């Protein structure tokens, strides 16, 4: 709880870091949903898929990947305490979840009012609420292996001679989250999705049935829980055993 409280304070003191990026992704997703052919970017194109897609897009940003450098003081202070490091990383994922999951769950419930299929809506809410945890933990590994310091555009322009580390590396790490979170989400859902495709009737072309969807979500939640545990263990071990990482976090001029 102390780690979560500290993370909430950090988020609200620096709204441009987390709040603005999450809101920006939400706007992008809503625009793509209503302005583009939905099958271009979305797997589930029916009304119930809106909440799932919105959650995925809002999670997929640097707020979920660059977890160490923006909070380097707390990370460095906890280097020798495995439990504190685990709590810090967990709090970052939970705080992001608290910003996104209630909104997307509420949207799913509103869609349920329209469709009048409450059991299916309940399964969508469970999927929105629980499945992202594993993907968030996996995505945070990017920031553990490849952190970067938040520096102004002016600073990066002044140091553009170091273009590989200050410019190119930073630009790559800005774009990477949009592929990493979907990749971990795919890893969570691939087994349930394959299972459904194997057992579904040949004449089913519309929305997945409620019972089948519920089974897929249960499997996805179990896989997400395993991914959560494994990713956090990998992250803590990496942080504690990789001395160059601590040196990088101490020096903001590394870019």
What per-residue confidence (pLDDT) applies to 13?
A: 87
Average pLDDT of span 177-188? 88
Q: What is the pLDDT of residue 1?
A: 83
Per DSSP (E only), the strands in 138-212 are none
Give the integer Cα–Cα distance in Å for 197 and 208: 10
Task: Please report the DSSP string for 75-138 in residue order.
Answer: HHHTTT-HHHHHHHHHHHHHHHHHHHHHHHHHHHHHHHHHHT-HHHHHHHHHHHHHTHHHHHHH
The CA distances from residue 156 to 68, 94, 170, 195, 220, in Å, are 19, 31, 9, 48, 41
For residue 210, pLDDT beyond 90: no
pLDDT digits (tens, 9 = 90+) for 30-80: 998 998 888 888 777 777 788 888 988 888 877 778 899 888 999 998 888
| Residue 179: predicted pLDDT | 86
Residue the block writes with tokens 């469970």: 126
Query: CB of 177 within 8 A of CB of 139?
Result: yes
- 112 has a pLDDT exceeding 90: no
The residue written with tokens 């810090």 in the block is 88
Residue 117: the pLDDT is 77
Asked if the model's pLDDT at residue 139 lies above 70, the reply is: yes
The CA distance from 241 to 82, in Å, is: 11
Mean pLDDT of 200-223: 75
Given a cut of 80, is residue 200 above it in pLDDT?
no
What is the structure's pLDDT at 185? Answer: 87
State yes or no: pLDDT of 222 exceeds 90: yes
Tally of domains in the chain: 1
pLDDT of 198: 73
Indicate the SS3 state at residue 205. Answer: coil
Tell me which residue range forms the domain holding 10.
2-254
Whether residue 205 has pLDDT greater than 60: no
Instruction: Write the CA distances from 137 to 40, 227, 230, 234, integer angstroms.
Output: 27, 7, 9, 10
The pLDDT assigned to 172 comes to: 93
Q: In which band, very low, low, confident or very high, does the pLDDT at 145 lie, cut at 50, 70 and 90?
A: very high
Q: Per-residue pLDDT for 116 more than 80?
A: no
In the prediction, which pLDDT does 202 show? Answer: 58
User: Residue 199: its pLDDT value, please?
Assistant: 65
Q: Tell me: pLDDT of 243 over 80.
A: yes
Q: What percent of the chain has pLDDT over 70?
A: 96
What confidence score (pLDDT) does residue 203 get? 54
For 2-37, how does the pLDDT look when each residue is reduced to its tens digit (9 = 90+)?
889 989 998 888 887 888 888 999 999 999 899 888
Angle formed at CA 91 by CA 88 and CA 94, multiple of 5 degrees: 155
pLDDT at 158 over 60: yes
Task: Note the pLDDT of residue 64.
Answer: 79
Q: Identify whether the C-beta of residue 192 lies closer than 8 Å to the C-beta of residue 219.
A: yes
């Amino acid at each position: 709880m102390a780690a979560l409280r500290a993370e909430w304070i950090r988020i609200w003191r620096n709204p441009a870091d987390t709040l603005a990026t999450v809101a920006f992704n939400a706007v992008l997703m809503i625009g793509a949903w209503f302005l583009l052919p939905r099958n271009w970017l979305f797997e589930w194109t029916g009304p119930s898929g809106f909440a799932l897609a919105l959650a995925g897009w809002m999670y997929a940003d640097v707020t979920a990947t660059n977890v160490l450098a923006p909070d380097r003081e707390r990370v460095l202070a906890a280097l020798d305490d495995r439990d504190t490091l685990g709590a810090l990383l967990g709090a970052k994922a939970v705080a992001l979840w608290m910003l996104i999951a209630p909104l997307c769950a509420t949207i799913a419930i509103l869609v349920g009012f329209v469709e009048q299929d409450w059991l299916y809506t309940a399964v969508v809410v469970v999927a929105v609420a629980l499945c992202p945890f594993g993907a968030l933990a996996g995505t945070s590994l990017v920031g553990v292996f490849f952190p970067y310091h938040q520096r102004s555009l002016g600073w990066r322009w002044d140091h553009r001679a170091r273009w590989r580390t200050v410019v190119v590396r930073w630009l790559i790490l800005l774009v990477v989250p949009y592929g990493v979170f979907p990749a971990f989400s795919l890893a969570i859902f691939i087994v349930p999705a394959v299972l459904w495709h194997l057992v579904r009737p040949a004449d089913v072309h519309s929305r997945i049935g409620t019972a089948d969807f519920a089974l897929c979500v249960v499997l996805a939640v179990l896989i997400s829980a395993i991914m959560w545990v494994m990713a956090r263990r990998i992250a803590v071990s990496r942080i504690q055993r990789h001395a160059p990482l601590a040196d990088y976090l101490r020096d903001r001029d590394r870019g």
